[in-house]
Amino acid sequence: MMAEESIGKNFIEQIIDKDIAEGKVTKVVTRFPPEPNGYLHIGHAKSILLNYGLAQEYGGQFNLRFDDTNPTKEKTEFVESILDDVRWLGADFGDRVFFASNYFDQMYEAAVKLIKKGKAFVCDLTADEIREYRGTLTEPGKNSPYRDRSIEENLALFEAMKNGEFPDGSKVLRAKIDMASPNINMRDPVIYRVARMTHHNTGDKWCIYPMYDFAHPIEDAIEGVTHSICTLEFEDHRPLYDWVVRELEYENPPKQIEFAKLYLTNVVTGKRYIKKLVEDGIVDGWDDPRLVSIAALRRRGFTASSIKKFMELVGISKSQSSVDYAMLEYCLRDDLKLTANRYMAVLNPIKLVIDNYPEDQVEYLPVENNQENEEAGSREVAFSKYLYIERDDFMEEPPKKYFRLFPGNEVRLKNAYFVTCTGYEKDEDGNVTVVHCTYDPATKSGSGFEGRKVKGTIHWVSAESAIDAEVRLYENIVDEEKGKLNEDGTLNLNPNSLTVLQGCKLEKAFEDAKPGEAFQFLRNGFFCVDSKDSTKEHPVYNRIVSLKSSYKPGK
């Protein structure tokens, strides 16, 4: 039966099934352990949803823990942003928000225990000397001259380190393992360093700080984590992880399992690059909608459910591979097409005057909010003599197969009437400013008119109730054709990554739109209210994604 149930499960689920079957685990406990040194990105979403999903699947527990062992790069701002991101993705950690720094006392005691077991020593070598003694991938390292200090001397020196009696960088505590190990991580790694840094959580209590590879397994063990799931770059660190929990004699030690990171084509995820983009003013913060931080995706208008669907399509594996960004957009469109109301918005407006429509008349036409979702209901849209249409929907001299407005041609105004272009006006620079037409009252949508057919249908907004808005059109921040990086290692930026359109005309239904709310602008794409800059007086909309997809599922 176990074999049948394992079919279709990923390799991590199969490991957990085996641990449960063998009685090694009774309650599955997972965690997401970010370092609060920047904003989370789309790759972190994979880890969050994987760890939370496993806890849900096995009726277990999911913890959120901040690995805050390096105060130089950590900020409370990053802690707050991470909390927001994890909550938004729907990963429920309850009241289980932990900090590695809360365990500093236990980590210190763990280090003392290793010293007493003869498994750790205080070393006076400089960082460069430690590197020199470590050896290479092909040559073994050599023992530190301080490796054979007595337990008593090591205990006294380590306490003096804690008490601030030595300058920064002058001494470290190292695990005593094997300088000839084929795995360089096992060659007496540093587990504590002297560093006077103010910590966002513990202030100035400590002047020594544990190294990540020492702290992480202790945190997992203290919290009762059963499966410590991390990305493949930690595979070579697993022997050290296992050594720490074994030498500290934890009952039911956690098991580290590695999976492949998520690599998206032509996106910027490196904190160093994003920090420079922010500092240089190229983007307006870590949440700029051109980035793929989770905060940026949320501001852009991505939905948590679309990201979950994307992660399900990507799957979990041991092999590294890149995923086309178009797949993420496909999942987003698939989600929005049922949930986003379809309203009319004119991004590059030109006036349309219906000469034979009564001057003061306004009629209200019934319009479905979403043709693919009956539950979305309907609304009434004002129609009048003066409208706005897209400038691209009129041409003086059209090419063949252009079915929109041009002199003498008839089109349908979406959900309204057939109109025929009778003329146009130009300004002194030769730009068309007004298009004139006549309408046929017999052709009203929904009236059952079965006369002549027209090939073109265009959208419009009534001038008498139009809302002015700013619309931002986003493209990839890097030049996809030339590649992400220049030869000198700098980012190859796309100069057209942001286009700002002012004076766009939106129908009245938008007046109650809320920050973050998504809509389909008919024929133009999916857009949402910007959560940072939009106001009632000056609405701002971000293009989430265009209507057309280059991704074909199943291929």
pLDDT higher than threshold 70 for residue 320: yes
For helices 304-314 and 325-339, angle between their N-to-C axes, nearest 10 degrees:
140
Rounded Cα distance, 364 and 120, in Å:
81
Rounded Cα distance, 128 and 216, in Å:
25
R_g of the chain, CA atoms, integer Å: 31
pLDDT higher than threshold 80 for residue 52: yes
Q: Which of 34-38, 63-67, 450-454, 489-493 has the highest mean pLDDT?
A: 63-67
pLDDT of residue 96: 95
pLDDT of residue 421: 98
pLDDT tens, position by position, 487-540: 777 888 999 999 999 999 999 999 999 999 999 999 999 999 999 999 999 999
Torsion angles phi and psi, residue 476, rounded to 5: -55, 140
Q: What is this structure's pTM?
A: 0.90
* Range of weakest confidence among 44-58, 278-292, 478-492, 508-522: 478-492
pLDDT higher than threshold 90 for residue 234: yes
pLDDT tens, position by position, 69-109: 888 788 888 999 999 999 999 999 999 999 999 999 999 99
Distances (CA, A) of 284 to 41, 241, 279, 439, 533: 16, 40, 9, 46, 11
pLDDT of residue 446: 87
Please name which of 342, 333, 336, 370 lies closest in space to residue 553, comparing C-alpha atoms: 333
pLDDT of residue 3: 39
For residue 381, what are its two tokens?
Answer: 């849209």
Greatest Cα pair distance, the chain, in angstroms, is: 102
Please name which of 324, 280, 328, 267 lies closest in space to residue 494, comparing C-alpha atoms: 267
pLDDT of residue 1: 32
What is the average pLDDT across 450-471? 94
pLDDT of residue 103: 97
DSSP E strand stretches across 277-417: 322-323, 341-343, 345-346, 349-354, 363-368, 378-383, 386-390, 410-413
pLDDT higher than threshold 80 for residue 554: no
| 3-class secondary structure, 455 | coil
**Tokens 């739109």 map to which residue?**
513
Pick 494 or 549 by higher pLDDT: 494
Q: What is the mean pLDDT of the chain?
A: 93
pLDDT of residue 547: 93
Query: Sorting pLDDT into bands at 50, 70 and 90, what band is 551?
Result: low
pLDDT tens, position by position, 114-133: 999 999 999 999 999 999 99
| 3-state SS track over 469-507 | EEEEEECCCECCCCCCECCCCCECECCCCEEEEEEEEEC
For residue 241, what are its two tokens?
Answer: 């992880």
pLDDT tens, position by position, 4-51: 344 578 999 999 999 999 999 999 999 999 999 889 999 999 999 999
What is the average pLDDT across 199-220? 94
**Tokens 């003498």 map to which residue?**
408
Q: Give Cβ neighbours of residue 279 (< 8 Å, ≥ 6 apart).
A: none
pLDDT of residue 5: 45
> β-strand 410-413 against 363-368: which pairing, if any?
unpaired
User: Could you tell me the domains of the chain?
Assistant: 25-259 (3.40.50.620), 345-459 (2.40.240.10)
Query: Sorting pLDDT into bands at 50, 70 and 90, what band is 2?
Result: very low
